[in-house]
Amino acid sequence: MSSAHDLLEQRLTANELQANYAACIDEDRLEQWPDFFVDDCTYRITHVRDFQAGRPMGVIYATSKAMLRDRITSLRQANIYEKQRYRHVVSPTRIISQESGTLKTTTSFLLIRIMETGDTTIFMSGVYHDVLIPQDDGWAFKEKIVVADSAAINTLLAIPV
Amino acid sequence: MTANDATFKWPDEGLTRIPYSVYQDADVYAAEQARIYRGPVWNFLCLTCELPNPGDYRVTQVGETPVIVTRDNDHGLNAFVNRCAHRGALLCLDQCGNTDAITCVYHAWRYTLKGELASVSFHRGVNRKGGMPNSFDKSKHGLETLRVTEFCGLIFGTFDPETPDIEDYLGPEIATRIKRVLKRPQTLLGENTQILDNNWKLYFENVKDSYHASLLHLFFTTFRINRLGQKGGVVVDESGGHHASYSIMDKNLDNSSYTDQNIRSADDGVQLTDPSMLDSVDEIGDGVTLQILTVFPGLVVQQIQNAIAVRQVVPTGVEKTLLNWRYIGFADDDADMTERRLKQANLVGPAGYVSLEDGAVGGFVQRGIAGSSDAVGVVEMGGDGFESQDFRATETSVRGMWRRYRDLMGF
């Protein structure tokens, strides 16, 4: 059984990790983005209809931190897309369960995309379904399933969510 | 000019010129709905594997027209317009589901899974007051149906009784190339939609345009996943409307070591740190690593290594198109094969390493041609015809699309 103090610390840890994660993307520090994950992580962007039907596809589907690094290398050096930024607005993180040191959490997000032209739209809303595990230097995501509320994506998805 | 008499003076140069107004004109767009989508074409509706059981239905679109596809109690497939025969209300509001009948929410008119009008609420009135006249014949008020056909797990529909059988419509070369990809019972690994801010033809042309592939999509070249030893070509059917472009591995090279060497080579510059994404197998056994195929007016069948998908191109406005992706596996895939398909699917879709640019480039054209409706595009790469060619630095299948388009539109 955890003490009240432990629970409070877990909540703070989970919320801080999520806040730092969103800031990393929004501030275009994408080279640091994979470091929020453990080496043998899962990262997947899906939507609620596929997720509820148990369909395994991801718009992005990664099974290692190395695949996340490759995604950023490609974005920076290979892929062609119009300059754009994200602004994440995230809810407080809910702890769904905890066992043997790992935390399962969910966090709602609203993702606004800002184009170079100034066009500003709600690009995505949804829920992060996360599994967090402690590392030597803090916590990291073992799993992050991004479940978008809509199956539709305007134009393209370049920057990770 | 109205939709019904929309005419168009095509430039004298013929297929090598595309007037930009064809992507901008509301009358042209309206005429396309009648002459193409309700004309003698097979429109892709959905996959057979989405409707395994009696009562299953799936909502789709033919041009702008909302359509329902059902599996009836005799296991037959049906398609009809998603529009109540009474006052025109949309019938199915959910994307998919299972039901024993289709009932309109507005006045509760009820239809069978074959689209026949089964019952009219208060048909005999209430307390013998009101009700339908005796002359009202339910059999004359069914839903507007489409003729349906099934081919390789793909369900197509047409409004036109003159549309030829699907294999005749596709022609032998295109039919064979669909069969080589979509052989076994299929499973749906997932689906999504890309909203494109451009006319539907800009996307359909982009898929047919084998010229741009290595120029716009730099993923393979940046990561030095070069394709030495690969040959390719473009097949265009007789009508011009359908095409298949492909690349094939030289049989003299050992594919696995080839891939291995090139990804992990000690070249300077960037490399994939997790090349497992490209760990593919030659599942069809013919060495074709890539085949992009279109069926006019709105279907793409894609095989990129083991990433297999169909894309449905749906116009929703002059400058708005929905691209519905369905990612396909097969019932006999083992866990490794499924994982392979899921990893390779990173190459395609709205965030695909070699496809995300296609989501934007149609919009770049749409924005670029704004205010220039008198100007024209130039498509002379590879000549001025639309014959099949054994190279890919060509726009032959783009010209083929315009041949078919102009024949249907009367332009």
Which residue carries 């359908």 as its tokens?
Answer: B242
**CB contact (8 A) between residue A46 and residue B188:** no
| A141 vs A133: CA distance, rounded Å | 6
B347 interaction partners in chain A (CB closer than 8 Å): none
Per-residue model confidence (pLDDT) at position B225? 79
Element (H, E) at A114: strand A102-115
Which residue carries 């076994």 as its tokens?
Answer: B184
Per-residue model confidence (pLDDT) at position B257? 46
Chain A residues within 8 A (CB-CB) of chain B?
45-47, 49-50, 55-64, 66-67, 69-71, 73-74, 77-82, 151-158
Question: Please, what are the domains in chain B?
Answer: 43-149 (2.102.10.10), 172-409 (3.90.380.10)
Does the structure show a pLDDT above 70 at A1? no
Does the structure show a pLDDT above 90 at A5? no
| B397 vs B13: CA distance, rounded Å | 17
Considering only the C-alpha atoms of chain A, give the largest distance between any 2 of them, rounded to a whole number of Å: 53
Question: Quick count: other Cβ atoms within 10 Å of Cβ B269?
Answer: 8
Does the structure show a pLDDT above 70 at A146? yes
**CB contact (8 A) between residue B273 and residue A70:** yes
Does the structure show a pLDDT above 90 at A4? no
Helix (H, G, I), strand (E, B), or coil: what is residue B263?
Answer: helix
Number of inter-chain CB pairs under 8 A, A vs B: 122
Helix (H, G, I), strand (E, B), or coil: what is residue B59?
Answer: strand
Does the structure show a pLDDT above 80 at A160? yes
pLDDT tens per residue, range A65-123: 999 999 999 999 999 999 999 999 999 999 999 988 899 999 999 999 999 999 999 99
A59 interaction partners in chain B (CB closer than 8 Å): 192, 349-351
Phi, psi of A123 (to 5 degrees): -85, -35
Cβ-Cβ contacts under 8 Å for B237 (sequence gap 6 or more): B170, B171, B173, B174, B243, B400
Question: Quick count: other Cβ atoms within 10 Å of Cβ B357?
Answer: 23
Mean pLDDT by 10 residues, chain B (411 residues): 65 95 96 97 98 98 98 98 98 96 97 97 91 94 98 98 98 97 94 98 96 88 71 94 90 49 52 92 93 98 97 98 98 97 97 95 97 95 94 93 97 92
Tell which of B195, B206, B338, B346 to mutate to test the A interface (max A CBs under 10 Å): B346
**CB contact (8 A) between residue A155 and residue B360:** yes
B277 interaction partners in chain A (CB closer than 8 Å): 67, 70
| A7 vs A12: CA distance, rounded Å | 9
B343 interaction partners in chain A (CB closer than 8 Å): 61, 63, 67
Question: Please, what are the domains in chain A?
Answer: 4-148 (3.10.450.50)
**CB contact (8 A) between residue B343 and residue A55:** no
Per-residue model confidence (pLDDT) at position B231? 84
| B369 vs B375: CA distance, rounded Å | 8
| A65 vs A159: CA distance, rounded Å | 16
Cβ-Cβ contacts under 8 Å for B284 (sequence gap 6 or more): B180, B181, B303
Per-residue model confidence (pLDDT) at position A89? 98
Per-residue model confidence (pLDDT) at position A111? 98
User: Which segments of B1-149 does DSSP mark as H helices, in order?
Assistant: 26-32
Q: Is B216 exposed, middle or buried (0-12, 13-18, 19+ CB in 10 A)?
A: middle
